[in-house]
Amino acid sequence: MFQSLLHEKFLIKQAETLCKVRWFIFIFSIFVWGVAWLAGLHVQRYWWLYAGALTLAVATNTVSCFLYRRYHEHQPHQRQNVRPLLLWHCFHVLSDLIIILVAIHFTGGMHSVGVCLLVTYVAGLALVFSRPIVVFGLTTLAAILLSILFLGYGTHLWEPWYVISTQPYSFHNILFFIIALDGILYITAALLMHQTRQLRTLWERAERQRIFFHRLNELNHITIQDDAQKVVQETARHLQGILGADGVYILYWRDHEPALDPVAAVGNHHESIEWFLRSGRQSLDTQPALWALLRQREDPLFIEDIQESPLLPKDLKQHFQRHRAALLLPLREPADDSLQGLVILAYDRPLRLGDDEMQWAAQAAHTTSILLSRAFNSQSMRHHLELLQELADDITGITQTLQTRTLAVAIVDGATRLLKASGGALLSYYGNTRTTMLDCLYARGLSPEHTQVLLDHQTEVFNTLLAFGEPMMQIPDIQASEASLPQPLREALLEENIRSLAAFLVPAPRGPMGILMLYWDHARVLCSKEIAVAQLFAARAGTVLYNAYLYELMRTEARTDALTGLPNRRALDEALEKEWKRSRRYNHPFAVAMIDIDNFKAINDQYGHPMGDLTLKAVASVLQKSTRETDFVGRYGGDEFLLILPETDKERALCVMHKLEARFAEERFDDILPAGLHIHITYGVAAYPEDATDIQTLIQLADERLYARKPENLR
């Protein structure tokens, strides 16, 4: 994966090492020059030439060391343009060869120990350049330059520059010496080049390991951010660099998703990335054989040819046409070793992976599994804390009222806000927890027609909920779950664009208060934390709803006469006060009628108090049936009743009471009263503002007029 880059790095590293060796060679050259000076080889005459050559060598070596250091300082793990550096290195080699040949000439020629220095330098070149053609070319250049130098001795070409008196060499001796020395150069280069290739292989392997673990360490230190999606995207980019892929595609199983979900994709092919993020899950879900294989494997799965693999779906092959090979990395949950995700590394070139690459890929998959698990667990924990905070806020909201309808709205709105639902409904047994019929207290996001369909099939919904064996049920995809709901209800929900449904029992001290239903316009799976929070909310809602029911019951009982079921004296006073204020504000009339049962004491004395109670109930029943919806009738006390007639003057009130009196005269109560026993009433009427403008005076006048109308024998 890093072959070209590593070859350049190896070349630069060896060249840098050769620069360090040159400093020792320079010291050795100065030592040889000193020995030649002391031996009287007449080098004093050409000392300036020898010194100039050494100065040139020191200058070029200093420049080389500076360039190599800059190479290492600037982006050491990325590809750089090293061609100028390599050209300089070739120039440096050429200058070194010329300097060594000058040293050989001025230190004895064919008898100089500088010949050994040349052989050593060629060996160094073989250690730097591992490619045969380069080593062969440089060795040939050194052999040619050496041959030119020695042939010049045979032709007296260098005679003016001799620094030592010696007999001319014969051409045959020179030729033999050249052939022998060139052979030594080639043999030395060949032997060391073979060793260099082995050394380069070992070095490149170690360097690949170093780079891999360096980048893997960077991956392992990715900061867990608030958004897990950013962590996944950054992880994908790191994996692309670590394993040299042209595209990285990650699927991961998140709590609120029903299957592996595409969470990140990076690479050079935008159309492949867009398709993967949009349709990758649906495509891979059609390959159960692939998932079965990945669940069994712990090591990466290498696919040499994507288009020929039977494990990959056709549409993936179609959108991955630019990719040639793929490496699949199963991601496993560190806690239970279950399959938690999948990384697809795609390559645009044919690929051959060795044992090292497969082992590194497995290590990268393990690190990625830990990192993504940590990121999504952290996000899930933050989400849970947010849910708990919202739960506390919503519970505070629903405990601020005991009005049933207001409370129902607060419960549904709080639950939908808590779980980010599109809508919800509260079906309640409110008022009688022993009945099996539910009433919709409030529905949000559901039309009245479809709400009625829901109520019509409430028995099936309740039985489905009980079949789950838990106080909740969820249907992640209504469209795909045909058997979970009655067909009419399922069709009604789909018409409302509802795709997912969850229902929670609303518990109360004396049994369930009803069902809290939530729905979404997309497929949705609630995670365990969301379910727990929703159940806590439903339990609290049930308690508050039950308290509201008790409050309404107590409030009703406090304003209702226990015997007749009519409003009692307190309720009458409140209603009378309200009507008086309304009439005074708008200058409208109203009337009150005091009603008394004739001969009620005689009924109690003759038939007993139980019969008197039946008589009161019968009178209350007739009054309720004979009055308008806007009228208000209640038991004033004893056998007296009070009727409030809004928007009614005195004349009309007398007409109403006359009809009511006739009604009692015609009514027969043979089913509840003894035969021959009839009920008669006496009444008194007072009107506002005709008779009085205050409540007390009105009641007093009505009572006085009642007394005046009653026969003397019944007073």
DSSP for 169-230 reads: PPHHHHHHHHHHHHHHHHHHHHHHHHHHHHHHHHHHHHHHHHHHHHHHHHHHT----S-HHH
**pLDDT confidence of residue 11:** 64
Average pLDDT over residues 37-61: 68
Nearest to 261 by CA among 250, 248, 272, 251: 251
**pLDDT confidence of residue 256:** 47
Strand bridging mode 339-347 / 325-332: antiparallel
Helices 228-243 and 355-398 pack at an angle, to 10 degrees, of 180
Whole-number Å distance between alpha carbons of 346 and 324: 7
Whole-number Å distance between alpha carbons of 370 and 112: 66
| C-beta neighbour count of 85 within 10 angstroms | 18
> Residue ranges of the alpha helices (H) in 329-481?
355-398, 404-418, 448-456, 458-467
Whole-number Å distance between alpha carbons of 18 and 13: 9
Residues composing the chain: 715
Q: Is pLDDT larger for residue 38 or for residue 27?
A: 27
Average pLDDT over residues 278-295: 74
Cβ contact 633:644 at 8 Å: yes
Average pLDDT over residues 578-589: 93
| C-beta neighbour count of 60 within 10 angstroms | 20
| C-beta neighbour count of 637 within 10 angstroms | 11
Cβ contact 472:463 at 8 Å: no
> Which contiguous run of DSSP H or E holds residue 685?
strand 681-688
Torsion angle of C-alpha atoms 134, 140, 141, 145, degrees rounded to 10: 160
Helices 600-607 and 609-626 pack at an angle, to 10 degrees, of 140
Percentage above 90 pLDDT, the chain: 12
Q: Is pLDDT larger for residue 23 or for residue 421?
A: 421
Model confidence pLDDT, tens digit, residues 101-141? 877 777 677 777 778 878 888 887 777 776 778 778 888 88
Whole-number Å distance between alpha carbons of 370 and 392: 32
Percentage above 70 pLDDT, the chain: 79
**pLDDT confidence of residue 354:** 79
Torsion angle of C-alpha atoms 254, 255, 260, 264, degrees rounded to 10: -20
Cβ contact 119:184 at 8 Å: yes
Nearest to 500 by CA among 528, 472, 483, 520: 520
Which tokens go with 631? Answer: 């009228």
Please determine, for residue 467, whether its predicted confidence score (pLDDT) is greater than 70: no
Q: Which of 166-175, 401-410, 442-451 has the lowest mean pLDDT?
A: 166-175
Question: Which band of pLDDT confidence, cut at 50, 70 and 90, is reported for residue 156?
Answer: low
Whole-Å CA distances, 421 to 464, 499, 538: 21, 11, 15
Amino acid at 207: E
Torsion angle of C-alpha atoms 363, 367, 369, 375, degrees rounded to 10: -170
| C-beta neighbour count of 569 within 10 angstroms | 14
Model confidence pLDDT, tens digit, residues 157-200? 665 555 444 455 677 777 888 888 888 888 888 888 777 777 77
Q: Is 336 exposed, middle or buried (0-12, 13-18, 19+ CB in 10 A)?
A: exposed
